[in-house]
């Protein structure tokens, strides 16, 4: 019984809102634009996070590559000095670093693609917001023109 009452109230409220929206389309456009701007900022924050992670991975990859080059040189020196045990440890370290670099390159490729997609989506979304603003101005002008004709 109580749920039916709330459904009735919800229906009445919905009709009341629709009637107000019909009388004030400018408010409807403003609400839609505001909602899109809010979602744009959320997308922008998410894109910034992806770009930050991509830059972090690039930095980490550069560090790993530099470390791998250094380990490779040290392994060569250890082999030249007949320090086989040290050379084996350095070669193992080099293989670990090589695996890390491969993993980082794959992740970096994925994040780069994701960052480019995020940038495209932001540009597209910004364009939609601008189109909506132009449409709002055009429709309000048409409505006011029609109201003036009626008078």
Residue 98 lies in a domain: yes
The pTM score is 0.67
CB 64 within 8 A of CB 94: no
**Helix ranges (DSSP H) in 24-83:** 25-80
Residue 73 falls inside a structural domain: yes
Query: How does pLDDT run along the chain (151 residues), one tens digit per residue?
Result: 778 877 777 776 677 766 666 667 777 888 888 899 999 999 999 999 999 999 999 999 999 999 999 998 988 888 888 888 888 898 899 999 999 999 999 999 999 999 999 999 999 989 999 998 998 888 888 888 888 888 8
Q: Is 39 inside a domain boundary?
A: no
> How many domains does the structure of the chain reveal?
1
Range of the domain at 48: 44-117
Q: Render the burial of 30-54: b for 16+ CB within 10 Å, e for the rest.
A: eeebeebeeebeebeeebeebbeeb
Q: Is residue 28 part of a domain?
A: no
Q: Per the domain annotation, does 96 fall within a domain? A: yes
């Amino acid at each position: 019984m109580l749920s039916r009452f709330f459904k009735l109230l919800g229906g009445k409220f919905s009709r009341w809102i629709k009637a107000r929206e019909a009388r004030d389309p400018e408010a409807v456009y403003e609400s839609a634009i505001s909602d899109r701007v809010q979602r744009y900022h959320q997308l922008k924050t998410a894109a910034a996070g992806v770009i930050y992670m991509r830059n972090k991975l690039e930095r980490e990859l550069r560090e790993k590559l530099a470390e791998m080059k250094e380990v490779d040189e040290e392994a060569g020196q250890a082999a030249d000095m007949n320090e086989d045990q040290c050379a084996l440890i350095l070669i193992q370290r080099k293989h670990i670093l090589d695996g890390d670099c491969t993993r980082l390159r794959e992740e970096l490729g994925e994040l780069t693609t994701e960052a480019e997609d995020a940038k495209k989506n932001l540009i597209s979304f910004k364009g939609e917001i601008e189109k909506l603003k132009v449409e709002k101005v055009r429709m309000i002008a048409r409505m006011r023109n029609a109201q003036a004709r009626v008078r």
